[in-house]
Structures are given as structure tokens and as C-alpha cells.
Structure 1
Amino acid sequence: MRRSRVDVPAEKPRRTPQEERDDLLAYAFRALGGRALTESELRGKLEKRSDDPDLVQTVLTRVQELGYQDDAHVARAEGSRTSVGRHRVRQTLKRRGVPEPLIQETVAARDPDQEAESARTLLERRWPALARKRDPRASAYAFLARRGFGGDAIWAAIREVSAAAGAEVGAPEDDADE
């Protein structure tokens, strides 16, 4: 029986700073190729790949200079989504690390009439299933609230869609307050 010699792993050759920068830059481009990332998200990914904060900042700056990463672009894309309300847009941008002034600008740019129309359109698609529930109004409200729509847009959508469907559903009874 022959015994094989156990190979001792050879030491990895030291990479030059330029090679490390090029590798990290290539990784950044691959990451951004999958989806638009915020500065915070990209920084987190780069920091997992490199222990050198200066190198991470250099790569991040270069990617931004070339126009491949821009928080404003990410915020505009999120703000233009029609299937979610302004509360969801705010929450998503905050979670993704977008600066607060840019979040406020994005949310303020959303048209309330367009948002109400989006809520109505979304509810029209789901109304047949929601109408079979025990309390369709509560189910519809919960559905649209999870999507980030505000109460005014939700109740307007519920009134319109339910009236079109033949059911008389109104806003919650606040007669006790009046």
C-alpha cells in the first residue's frame, strides 16, 4: 500500500494594493449589476470583503464618480412604485439606509391623487376575494395598510370599490364623536 504525502498548503502570494482595489471594484460592479443598491447597502457588502476602510471608501467613491451608485436614483425608483403607499416607501428607504432629507423629498414628491388611485386599483383586483370574508371592510383596510397606504386613501378606495360592487360600505362609524 502506498502512502501519499500530505500536501502542505503553500502560502498565498501577497496581493498588491492595486490588485485588491481592482478585485473589490469588480465585486462592487457585480453587486450593482444585480440591483440598484444604496450607498449604505454597498458599503456593507464591501466591508464584508475587505478589512481596509480606506479601500472600501476609495471603491465606493469611484463607483459613485462613474455613476453606478446613486442614492437619489434608488429613492426615485422606490418613490415611483404604484403598488405601495407613501408609508411603505418611507419605511423601505429608511431600512435601506437612505439619508432622511432624501426620504422626505421622495415622499413629498408622491402625488396624493395618484396614490389614492393606486389604492383603488389594487383593491379592485383583490375585492372579489376580500368580499367573501366575514368583514370585507376590515380585511380591505388591513390589506391596503400593509401596503403602506394612508387611512384617507384606504377609506376612499373602500367606498368606491364596494359601491361599484354593489355593497354599501362606508367609513368607520364616528357618529359618537360628533
Structure 2
Amino acid sequence: MGEPLARLRATYGAGPRHLLVLLLCFVVTGWVALRVAGEATWGRMLLWFIGAVILHDLVLFPVYALADRVLRAAVGVPGRRAAPDPARRVPVRLALLNHVRVPALGGALLFLVYLPGVLGWGADTYRAATARERVPFLGRWLAVTGILFLISAVVFLLRWRRWRAAQRRSGPPG
């Protein structure tokens, strides 16, 4: 009995209770989506949901995992398994990494939410639904993403200056 559970944990990454709860969440989510939407073409909705899961798990997750690895290497933050060298400024580099991750995640999330508008798709659908012309989503998305990065950079610089002042007050490590 112990070996199958250990194999499941090694393969899946968690225990059977986690898998059961996750599957139950998918069932409840599917049931709620069907009930709330009242969609007569539930098969198309299910197909869209499965397609979104496959797109995320097989395409998007490897892309942003690779982007995170590249960003870690560029900033100089060791991987999770590597022991950090105390002589290197890993906390500062990790803070820099996080100050890049947060606005990138915000910009990516906005891009996915407003994807048709940002890419210029669906002008007729938008006009039919709202009786208005579509606004320039691409420019606004770029502006908001730029502002997110700017705010994050300012916060990082303020935190870095405070950290440097504290380092000078405490003196050289001894």
C-alpha cells in the first residue's frame, strides 16, 4: 500500500486526497457553469473549457516557466535547488525578480482578458453588442502595462535605497 502512494506522490506531486478534491472541484465547476449559463450548447462550452485547459497546460505554462528561468538567469537568482551564496546579493536580486514578475503577470492577465480587443478582433460583434465603436485596446493595454512596470520600478528603487541605507548603518559584515 505504501509504494503505490509514494509512486502517486512522486508522479502527481501530491497525495490522493488532493487529487480527489481537485477532481471534485472540476465536477462542481462544470455543474455550476452548465446551470448558471443555461447554455443549450453545453458541448461547445465543454469543448472550449477543455481547449483552454490544454492551451494553458501544454502551451502557456511551459512558455512562462521558460521565461521565468531566463529571467532568473538574467538577474542572477539561483534555482530552487541551488544553495544561495551569502556573498552574493540574492535577496536584492530576488526582490528585483519579483518586481519584474508582478507587472508582467498583471500585463499578461490583462492581455488574456482583453485578447480580442487588444489584437483587433471582433469589431462587428462589439458594435452589435454595445452599439458603439470599439476603443483602441492595444494602446490602452500597452499604457497600463507600462504604468505597472513603472510603478514597480519606482517601488523597487525606493526599497533598494532603504536597504542600502540600512546596510551602511549596520557596517560591513563581520
If you compute each CA radius of gyration, which structure gives the higher value, 1 or 2? 1
Same fold judged by TM-score > 0.5? no
Give the TM-score normalised by the residue count of structure 2.
0.24
